[in-house]
Amino acid sequence: MAKRTVIANWKMHGSRAEARALARGVRRLLNNRFAAVEVVLAPPLTSLEVVRQAVEGSRLLLCAQNLHWQPQGAFTGEVGADMLRDAGCSHVIVGHSERRRLFGETNAESGRKVAAALDASLKPVLCIGETLEQRGGGRTWRTLSAQLSGALKSVPKSVSGSLAVAYEPVWAIGTGKNATPTQVMEAHGWIRRALKRRFGPSEAARIPILYGGSVNPANAPDLARVPEVDGTLVGGASLEHRSFAAIVGAFSEREG
């Protein structure tokens, strides 16, 4: 079965000193608790090294927020997958809605990034999700299908267990709104069925499907009980170590 996973996406927040303190706070509170959950920290690029040092020797993992699909070259401002591995990363976020909406990332580009991550033995966390307009217009499944197929069409079954998918309805990110458990269950069930069609039942079962969108300690327990929710991608609530640890705890309690 898929490993329960909780990822802290710190986005463009914090100095290196603040990132170090936050990582140490998370480490101190978890302190080998909640072993059933894979806990991953995604600081800004400038703080990868200090966070790596802060979590060294613990079970906390390091994640980058983006990558380029080429390993190296004349791509000013970009970073390659091998560079991220060298920095200590095990995971990388791909296709986040902010990358799509603000920087024009396409489904094809997300696919190249997924392939580059897998080639470098990084675990890509592929983000997919619909806007409010798409949901209201009855285009939710068409949107998710295009995002999923565009990013995974070149992924062989043999490495499908080395990726994760994060469903993040765009209308619930940073808005304080949250999809209802019924809406989340419906979307995650659809994604699981799509993964089964693409990779087969046994391989699809190994792929964690995370929920992202205004997750906090208050709604995390309800989300953790939703079928096919294997974890969460946390934004704002991950910037405070106590609130993030509480979210990890909520997913740890879902035994069996």
- Positions marked active-site: 96, 168
What's the angle, vertex CA 27, arms to CA 26 and CA 28, rounded to 5?
A: 95
**Cβ-contact 248, 140 below 8 angstroms:** no
Element (H, E) at 64: strand 61-64
Task: For residue 81, give both structure tokens.
Answer: 């997958």
Element (H, E) at 25: helix 16-30
Closest Cα to residue 79, out of 46, 115, 55, 53?
A: 46
Instruction: For 51-73, give one letter per residue: b (16+ CB within 10 A) or e.
Output: bbebbeeeebbbbbbbbbbeeee
Long-range contacts of 196-204 (CB under 8 A, 24+ apart): 198/148, 198/149, 198/152, 198/160, 199/157, 199/160, 200/157, 203/157, 203/160, 203/161, 204/160
Going 195 to 119 to 65 to 153, the CA torsion angle's sign is negative
Element (H, E) at 82: helix 81-86
Q: For 87-180, where are the alpha helices, taking DSSP H only?
A: 97-103, 107-119, 132-136, 140-152
